[in-house]
Amino acid sequence: MSVSRPPLVRRQRGFVSYEPPPWDWAGSGAATVDGKIHVIGGRGRDGVVVATHEVFGLQSRTWTEAPPLPTARDHMVVVAIDGKIHVIGGLLSSAIDRTDEHDVYDPATHKWTSGAPLPTPRSGLASAYYHGLILVLRGETPPDHTFPENEAYDPKTNRWTTLAPMPSGRHGFGGDVIGESVYLVGGSLTPGDKGATGQLLMFHLP
């Protein structure tokens, strides 16, 4: 089903505001394939996790429903590699119900398949595509645990490798690849935001 929206609502200091999708949700993930933004999973205003999969076409400026995520969840990793979308880890229903699930969506066939599960189930994690690997770093399990794990998935072999752990557990942080290194900044050392830090770390593989 395609939901047509006016192409443009208003401009504000360089930002362009489009009409929102049919649903409101938070904690979802997004990835882009062939000029289309896939917004997957999340949690609604009622606190219930969802499996919704909405696609926004940058050319058509319309929202379209796609096959839903096999298992509803939020605060997971969503990353597009080689034309496929990987959804890894996250929270299922309660704050401590983390998962190791790894689902892979192929926009060409409109089908979901299962990838090798995340070795350490967790949520609130970060990811980076580095040296042909999907790095999944750190994460949390409320009420009192954050993870230092650094695990790498190879899409070509469908296998995980455990890499050097981070110096301390952390969740809710950002990162990106610059040159031959991965840079990670901010986050919280404890579940929630009480352990917020501005620490900047670099990770490098030989």
Provide the CATH number for the domain around residue 26: 2.120.10.80
Q: 53 exposed, middle or buried (CB, 10 Å; 0-12, 13-18, 19+)?
A: buried
Tell me which of 48-52, 66-70, 165-169, 200-204 is least confident. 165-169
- Higher confidence at residue 58 or residue 166? 58
Verify that 95 and 137 share a domain, yes or no. Answer: no
pLDDT value at position 187? Answer: 80
**How far, in Å, CA of 70 to CA of 80, rounded?**
17
Percent of the chain with pLDDT over 90: 55
In DSSP notation, the chain reads -EEE--S--EEETTEEEPPPPSS--BS-EEEEETTEEEEEEEE-TTS-EEEEEEEEETTT-EEEE-PPPSS--BS-EEEEETTEEEEE--B-SSTT-B---EEEEETTTTEEEEPPPPSS--BS-EEEEETTEEEEEEEEETTTEEEEEEEEEETTTTEEEE-PPPSS--BS-EEEEETTEEEEE--BSSSTTTTB---EEEEE--
Verify that 7 and 76 share a domain, yes or no. Answer: yes
Verify that 95 and 140 share a domain, yes or no. Answer: no
pLDDT value at position 142? Answer: 66
Range of the domain at 11: 1-118
pLDDT value at position 150? Answer: 92
pLDDT value at position 12? Answer: 57
When pLDDT is cut at 50, 70 and 90, the band that residue 25 belongs to is confident
Verify that 4 and 73 share a domain, yes or no. Answer: yes
Residue-wise pLDDT tens digits, 133-169 = 999 988 877 667 788 889 999 999 999 999 998 887 7
Looking at 118, 140, 168, the residue that finishes a domain is 118
Verify that 66 and 156 share a domain, yes or no. Answer: no
Instruction: Indicate the residue type of 113.
Output: T
Tell me which of 43-52, 65-74, 197-206 is least confident. 197-206
Verify that 196 and 106 share a domain, yes or no. Answer: no
Q: Quick check: 11 pLDDT over 70?
A: no
Verify that 79 and 141 share a domain, yes or no. Answer: no
Q: 76 exposed, middle or buried (CB, 10 Å; 0-12, 13-18, 19+)?
A: buried
Q: Quick check: 61 pLDDT over 60?
A: yes
